[in-house]
């Protein structure tokens, strides 16, 4: 074992190679140092949610606790909330108890599966974190069904190759959507994940709405507000669509070969305004998310457009300035450093890229 410090806690974790997260879940107690940003963002997000009286977050569950690092951080770094952890592994349960004691935390840990725990404690939690190794499909449905009305479910997917189009048949089996391995693959994958979450919740007459969703290198993450009501669920389902990609763009089509995926917003502007950088969380990332609010679904890639038009790639900021100067909405995107979002038509985008590229 070794001790790591993250946020305001010190946690005993299994030995690992510095700078690398585990490639497979081959240890009895799972710890992934590469997910520190994921955990930092969750603290920033939940802290922002605590400023919102309408969300009413009081009881939080770390549903797959492993070493306990996420749940213990929630306990020590968030005020006025009760934190609970659950893990079925004997070794994890014992280690979590030691880590809780080591940090003087008040969190409570349960030694059972997340499935059994949620069935026995239905509607108890206002926030449920589902952060498995790989796909969340085995665990998300019960979280969406049994989180409190108006509560939030945080969902991580690390099977990004599946969701982003490397293994389309596997994506269809797991998520009932067809992916696309193109310049937009990571946003496609994120929107497919949300689409799956919307459809699963609708089975129980519950609606979900993403209030923070992002891609980071090796994982996709979405925070979903869950509400009761068949009408709300039906309304959420209208935000699912298919796309057809052509050239450097796309169009929404009922019989498109990509999807169904979520076409609505990925962020809550009011939550982003309350969030502040925590730990490894870069303030620039937060600013980019804020720029993306209210922009159209999916993004364009300046390198892809330039290649299609046989031009030198234009400076991204010049391209965005020119779009805005012509009264189109435009912003960067966090999915890639060469991507941008805009409501300009493809013909005008091509014209602007040509003009900016040629100087």
pLDDT digits (tens, 9 = 90+) for 111-163: 999 999 999 999 999 999 999 989 999 999 999 999 999 999 999 999 999 99
Instruction: Give residue-wise pLDDT tens across range 224-260.
Output: 999 999 999 999 999 999 999 988 999 999 899 999 9
- Beta bridge partner(s), residue 207: 227
66 contacts 305 by C-beta, under 8 angstroms: no
15 vs 171, which has greater pLDDT? Answer: 171
Q: Tokens standing for 165?
A: 């189009």
Between CA 179 and CA 164 the distance in angstroms is 6
| Confidence category of residue 18, pLDDT binned at 50, 70, 90 | low
- Beta bridge partner(s), residue 339: 301
Among 46-55, 274-283, 320-329, the range scoring the smallest mean pLDDT is 46-55
SS (H, E, C) 236-249: HHCCEEEEEEECCE
0.85 exceeded by pTM: yes
Per-residue model confidence (pLDDT) at position 28: 67
- Is the pLDDT reported for residue 20 higher than 60? no
Between CA 122 and CA 118 the distance in angstroms is 5
CA 108 → CA 82, 87, 310, distances in Å?
Answer: 9, 12, 60
Between CA 150 and CA 146 the distance in angstroms is 11
Per-residue model confidence (pLDDT) at position 53: 61
Mean pLDDT in residue range 82-93 = 96
Instruction: Give residue-wise pLDDT tens across range 156-171.
Output: 999 999 999 999 999 9
| Confidence category of residue 1, pLDDT binned at 50, 70, 90 | confident
- Is the pLDDT reported for residue 175 higher than 80? yes
Mean pLDDT in residue range 264-280 = 96
Tokens 């994940």 belong to residue: 193
Torsion angle (degrees, nearest 10) of CA 36, 58, 264, 198: 100
Mean pLDDT in residue range 36-59 = 89
- Is the pLDDT reported for residue 25 higher than 70? no
- Mean residue pLDDT of the chain comes to 94
Task: Indicate the burial class of 1 (C-beta count within 10 angstroms; 0-12, 13-18, 19 or more).
Answer: exposed
Share of the chain above pLDDT 90, in %: 89
Per-residue model confidence (pLDDT) at position 232: 98
71 contacts 95 by C-beta, under 8 angstroms: no
Mean pLDDT in residue range 65-72 = 96
* Range 133-136, long-range pairs (CB < 8 A, 24+ positions): 133/25, 133/30, 133/158, 134/25, 134/158, 134/159, 135/159, 135/162, 135/174
Per-residue model confidence (pLDDT) at position 19: 53
Among 18-32, 219-233, 267-281, 310-324, the range scoring the smallest mean pLDDT is 18-32
Between CA 202 and CA 221 the distance in angstroms is 20
């Amino acid at each position: 074992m070794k001790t790591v410090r993250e946020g305001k806690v010190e946690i005993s974790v299994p030995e690992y190679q510095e700078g690398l997260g585990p490639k497979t879940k081959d240890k009895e107690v799972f710890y992934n140092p590469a997910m520190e940003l994921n955990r930092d963002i969750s603290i920033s997000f939940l802290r922002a949610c605590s400023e919102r009286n309408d969300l009413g977050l009081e009881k939080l569950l770390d549903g797959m606790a492993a070493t306990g690092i996420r749940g213990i951080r929630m306990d020590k770094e968030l005020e006025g909330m009760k934190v609970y952890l659950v893990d079925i592994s004997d070794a994890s349960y014992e280690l979590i108890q030691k880590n809780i004691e080591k940090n003087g935390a008040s969190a409570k840990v349960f030694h059972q599966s997340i499935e059994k725990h949620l069935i026995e404690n239905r509607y108890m939690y206002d926030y449920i974190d589902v952060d498995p190794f790989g796909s969340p499909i085995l665990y998300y449905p019960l979280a969406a069904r049994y989180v409190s009305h108006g509560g939030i479910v945080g969902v991580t997917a690390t099977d990004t190759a599946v969701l982003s189009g490397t293994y389309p048949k596997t994506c269809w089996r797991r998520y009932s959507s067809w992916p696309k391995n193109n310049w937009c693959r990571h946003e496609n994958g994120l929107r497919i994940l949300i689409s799956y979450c919307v459809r699963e919740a609708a089975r129980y007459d519950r609606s979900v709405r993403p209030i923070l969703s992002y891609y980071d290198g090796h994982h996709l993450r979405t925070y979903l507000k869950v509400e009761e009501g068949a009408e709300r669920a039906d309304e959420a389902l209208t935000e699912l669509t298919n796309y057809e990609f052509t050239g450097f763009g796309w169009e929404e089509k009922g019989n498109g070969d990509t999807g169904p995926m979520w076409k609505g917003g990925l962020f809550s502007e009011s939550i982003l305004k309350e969030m502040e950088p925590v730990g490894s969380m870069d303030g620039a990332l937060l600013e980019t998310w804020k720029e993306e609010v209210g922009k159209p679904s999916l993004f364009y890639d300046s390198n892809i457009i330039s290649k299609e038009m046989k031009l030198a790639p234009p400076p991204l900021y010049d391209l965005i300035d020119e779009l805005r100067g012509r009264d189109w909405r435009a912003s960067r995107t966090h999915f890639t450093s060469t991507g941008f979002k805009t409501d300009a038509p493809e013909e005008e985008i091509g014209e602007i890229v040509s003009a900016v590229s040629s100087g």
